[in-house]
Amino acid sequence: MILSSASRLTTRTLALSPSSPSRTRPLSFSITSRFQVRSMASNSDFKKIQIQRDDTTFDAYVVGKENAPGIVVLQEWWGVDYEIKNHALKISQLEPGFKALIPDLYRGKVGLDVAEAQHLMDNLDWQGAVKDIRASVNWLKANGSQKVGVTGYCMGGALAIASSVLIPEVDAVVAFYGVPSSELADPTNAKAPVQAHFGELDNFVGFSDLTAARALEEKLRASGIPYEVHIYPGNAHAFMNRSPEGVARRKSMGMPDEDNTAVELAWSRFRSWMSRFLSQ
Query: Is the residue at 21 inside a domain?
Result: no
The enclosing domain of 80 has a CATH number of 3.40.50.1820
Query: Is the residue at 25 inside a domain?
Result: no
Q: Which range of residues forms the domain containing residue 170?
A: 36-278
Question: 133-178: per-residue pLDDT in tens?
Answer: 999 999 999 999 999 999 999 999 999 999 999 999 999 999 999 9
**What pLDDT tens digit does each residue of the chain (280 aa) get?**
334 333 222 222 333 333 333 334 445 433 333 333 443 434 688 999 999 999 999 999 999 999 999 999 999 999 999 999 999 999 999 999 999 999 999 999 999 899 999 999 999 999 999 999 999 999 999 999 999 999 999 999 999 999 999 999 999 999 999 999 999 999 999 999 999 999 999 999 999 999 999 999 999 999 999 999 999 999 999 999 999 999 999 999 999 999 999 999 999 999 999 999 999 6
Query: Is the residue at 256 inside a domain?
Result: yes
Question: 179-195: per-residue pLDDT in tens?
Answer: 999 999 999 999 999 99
User: DSSP string spanning the chain?
Assistant: -PPPP-PPP-TT-BEE----TTS-PPEE-S------PEEPPP-TTSEEEEEEETTEEEEEEEEE-TTSPEEEEE-BTTBS-HHHHHHHHHHHHSTT--EEEEE-TTTTEE-SSHHHHHHHHHT--HHHHHHHHHHHHHHHHHTT-SSEEEEEETHHHHHHHHHHHH-TT--EEEEES----TTT--GGG--S-EEEEEETT--BTTTTSHHHHHHHHHHHHHHTS-EEEEEETT--TTTT--SHHHHHHHHHTT-----HHHHHHHHHHHHHHHHHHH--
Determine the pLDDT at residue 280.
64
Query: Is the residue at 20 inside a domain?
Result: no
Determine the pLDDT at residue 15.
35
Query: Is the residue at 7 inside a domain?
Result: no
Q: What is the spatial distance between Cα 2 and Cα 13, in angstroms, rounded to a whole number?
A: 25
Query: Is the residue at 136 inside a domain?
Result: yes
pTM: predicted TM-score of the whole model, two decimal places: 0.87
Question: 75-88: per-residue pLDDT in tens?
Answer: 999 999 999 999 99
* Domain tally, the chain: 1
Query: Is the residue at 23 inside a domain?
Result: no
